[in-house]
Chains A and B, each alone.
Chain A
Amino acid sequence: MSSATLTRSPDRAKVTAWLQNYGVYLAVVVLLLFNVFFTENFLSAANFRTQLVQASPVCIVALGMALVIGTEGIDLSVGSVMAIAAALIPLYLGAGPLTAIIVAVIAGVVSGLFSGYLVAYLGIQPIIATLALLVGGRGLALVIAHGQLVQVRNQDFLELGTGDVLGVPIMVIVAGVLAVLAGLVVQRTTFGRHLVAVGGNRSASTLAGLPVKRVLVSVYVISGALAAIAGVLATSRLGASDPSDVGLLMELSAITAVVVGGTPLTGGRVRVLGTVFGALLMQLVQATLIKHNLPDSTAQMVQAAIIVVAVYVARERSSK
């Protein structure tokens, strides 16, 4: 690695650095332009709405994942937390949509506390701490729901996934607000600075007296709560609680969005806007391939190629 850095010409270094910073935006713009010219019926308000709505759950989960990755962690449990949230909704809808949502989000917070405690206080590797919840969590969701898909008929609750305000889907508004909040937290709060410091150098942060453990627990709690919100939204959009399917492989999509957006897996840096665009990019890739009648299989292989290229480009800075 170091030898490659030494022999690299300054021009190429500049291009790489530029790509690292702006590659994801460039890719989104290129794909948008491609679709505008070569895809039928792409330039319609309805289509844009669909794209944004479909990107919203991944985006929301990826925001939490970005914070976790910023501390050099990883949260594999997000998909299962979505399933737990979805399974709880039908049980508490009788007491009103708000109660059901609050219960679901509390379940996400508790899941996050659990993972965070294991990581921060017991010193268990994030990948294993959250793997246990990934394996057990979906089983738990299925046990709660007795393994069944349950139709949801509460109109107020369904409004969340299908309704809109001034023409903007509620799901997109939720994702947008959460993204702005995440951006503010990272850029403008002490917590955000601590988070980046912990990810950059944990032992130095400990020596400097930063509340390392509290920061670590907090990011997993945020990630759990956001995953639960995504689970609530997915349930509302589907009109049914499907704990065996909701959030399946979500951990991979979210990690992809974060990494493609320029947040290094080695921590110490969080790019919120990049993450949002990472989620948009993955959605656009899928939509483009589907609209051109390329099958799901090709979409997956293209997604794989994008991950490798994005990480390859991002790698040199993070390895320094």
Chain B
Amino acid sequence: MTAQSATPVSARNAAFAGVLQRQGAAVVLVLGIAAAWFAFPHFGTADNLRSLVLQGSFLAVIALGMTFVIISGGIDLSVGSNYALGGVLAAWGAQYGIFVAILLPLAVCSLIGLINGLLIARTGMAPFIVTLASLLFARGLLLALTSEGATTYKVDPGSAFLWLGQGTIFGVGVPVYLTLILFALGGLLLRRTRFGQSVFAIGGAENSAMLMGLPVARTKISLYTLSGGLAGFAGVLTAAYLQSGVTVIGVGTELDAISVVVIGGTLLTGGAGTIIGTLVGVLLRTLIQNVINQIGTLDSNYQTVVSGAFLLVVVVIQRLLARSRTR
């Protein structure tokens, strides 16, 4: 970016392209919200906006971990299964109190993430394939725990644990606050710590990072552990919200998470990305869902068509802008 100072005009164009590339999703989000506000009378109601941010919060927690992984140049396909597994463990653990309900899923899902990280960092196997295996493994474990999916663990309606998912502060759901706190912490971790710098360095050029003496293996292991733990925590929140551990959720969630991260401007090639962008990506996806629900007569299957098309448009635009800047 700094190298482009040939003429003022091209510099301005490049800066404009840069803003679009980084903030394009935010611009679309603002325009989308404005359009929806005018088009649908129900959209702007406090009830609808509250449910919109609440619905987005579960995916946001998963996507936070995915952002770290993708910035490092990796990918985590196991988050969908971990998410479902975390929910089931939380609902089962709730009978032993709120601490078991939170800590057990966190421990198990972080452990799965840790194993992902160990295999990826220590053996040099592709993240894609390692996390694909743990996608299958975690889903198998989930099925084994629920007698092949036949058992649904219900949380006792009097349990304090439910507050995590169903409680509200000033009318807004607790998961929303927790999500914002996690994103704030995530932003600090990524931007203000040595760990965060290492993540960017590894994603930019792994060999150089290694030559610079950065703890590449340790950082990778931490990343995947973090991603697993966050997916498990999203499961905890969902179990508290739904009052049970639902076995059929989480199929394809890894792809949703990857989509929102990419829509948010994080490059799948690694080395660049932002936490805020991911938040914007999640809101955009939730907005699309919400608008399709508002239209009502529209087949809900269009939701995935629109999501897929949108992902594509964003990626193509990113690609074209990146090309025009390198020229």
Contact = CB atoms under 8 A, between A and B. Distances in A.
Interface of A: 1, 74, 118, 122-125, 127-129, 131-140, 142-143, 146-147, 248, 252, 255-256, 259, 265-266, 295-301, 303-305, 307-308, 311-312, 315, 319
A252 B137 CA distance: 13
A140 B268 contact: no
B301 A147 contact: yes
A119 B135 CA distance: 26
A319 B126 CA distance: 10
A296 B136 CA distance: 11
Which of A1, A74, A296 is the most central at the interface, judged by chain B CB atoms within 10 Å of its CB? A296
A319 B251 CA distance: 32
Given A311-B126, A311-B129, A301 B268 contact: no
B40 interface: no
A148 to B, nearest CB: 11
A298 B137 CA distance: 9
Q: Interface residues of B: mostly helix, strand, loop or mixed?
A: helix
22 contacts: A122-B319, A122-B320, A124-B316, A129-B312, A134-B308, A135-B308, A136-B304, A136-B309, A137-B308, A139-B301, A139-B308, A143-B299, A147-B301, A295-B148, A300-B137, A301-B140, A304-B134, A304-B136, A304-B137, A304-B140, A307-B133, A311-B133
SS class, residues of chain A in contact with chain B: helix
A135 B307 contact: yes
A146 B299 contact: yes
B126 A265 contact: yes
A252 B252 CA distance: 12
B172 interface: no
Given A139-B302, A296-B148, A311-B129, A303 B311 contact: no
Interface in B243-278: 251-252, 255-256, 258-259, 262, 268-269
A122 B124 contact: no
A197 to B, nearest CB: 21
Given A132-B315, A311-B125, A300 B268 contact: no
A131 B299 contact: no
Closest 8 CB pairs of A and B: A136-B308, A139-B304, A300-B140, A297-B143, A304-B137, A301-B140, A135-B308, A142-B301
A74 to B, nearest CB: 8
B316 A118 contact: yes
Given A139-B304, A143-B299, A128 B262 contact: yes
Interface residues of B, number: 48
A313 to B, nearest CB: 11
Nearest to B129: A311
B135 A131 contact: no
Contacts of B135: 252, 304
Given A124-B319, A312-B125, A307 B132 contact: yes
A123 B267 CA distance: 13
A128 B310 CA distance: 12
A300 B75 CA distance: 21
Given A128-B268, A139-B303, A301-B136, A315 B316 contact: no
Interface in B293-326: 299, 301-309, 311-312, 315-316, 319-320, 323
Interface in B98-155: 119, 123-126, 128-130, 132-137, 139-144, 148
A136 B143 CA distance: 28
Contact of A301 (B126, B141, B256, B259): B141
A307 B316 contact: no
Contacts of A255: 129, 132
B144 A297 contact: yes
A107 B118 CA distance: 42
A252 B78 CA distance: 12
B133 A135 contact: no
Which of B128, B132, B309, B316 lies at the interface centre, i.e. has the most chain A CB atoms within 10 A of its CB? B132
Contact of B140 (A132, A133, A298, A312): A298
Given A139-B308, A142-B301, A131 B129 contact: no
Contacts of A147: 299, 301
A132 B309 contact: yes
B305 A315 contact: no
Contact of B305 (A123, A140, A248, A301): A140
Contacts of B126: 265-266, 311
A129 B259 CA distance: 11
B236 to A, nearest CB: 22
